[in-house]
Amino acid sequence: MTHSASSPITELIICTTCRPAGVSRDLPAAGEALLEAVQVATWDLEASQQARIRVRGMACMSGCSRACTIALQAPGKYTYYFGDLVADDVNAAEVLACARLHADSVDGNLLRKERPERLRSGILARLPPLGLA
C-alpha cells in the first residue's frame, strides 16, 4: 500500500440507528454506542492522526440486517462499507485503525491482510472513486 501525508481527510461514518435483530427499539441503539466508543478511542491518537480522520454519525445507512455498520470515504479514494460490527472497545479500536489505514493510503484501497482482524470480513461494499475507469 502506498502512503501519502497529503491524502484528503478520511470520513469514518457510523450508523447511529443500527441495532442487532430482535433488540427493542426502546433500548439505546448499538450504533450510538459504537460511535461513542470510537470517539473515545480517538483521544489516544496523536494530533496529526486526529486531523486526518473525521468521525461522524449518520442515521440509517440501510444495512439493518448487518448491524452495526460503518463506512470509510474520502475524495479520490475507494469507499468501504462494513457490517456485522459489535459496539465494544475492541471493535472501536479496530475501526479506527482501519480508518487510519484508509487515511494513509493514496487510493483508499485496503488489502484484506492489512486490515485489522474484525474488518477482514463483513464488507458490504467496496466502491471505486468517482471517475475511475
Q: In the structure, what pLDDT confidence band is assigned to residue 21 with cuts at 50, 70 and 90?
A: confident
pLDDT of residue 133: 59
pTM: 0.89
CATH 3.40.30.10 corresponds to the domain 10-127? yes
In Å, what is the CA distance from 2 to each residue of 7, 9, 50, 85? 11, 16, 20, 27
> What is the residue extent of each domain of the chain?
10-127
Span between the terminal Cα atoms of the chain, in Å: 20
Q: Using an 8 Å Cβ cutoff, are 85 and 38 in contact?
A: no
Choose between 50 and 89: higher pLDDT. 89
Mean pLDDT, all residues of the chain: 90
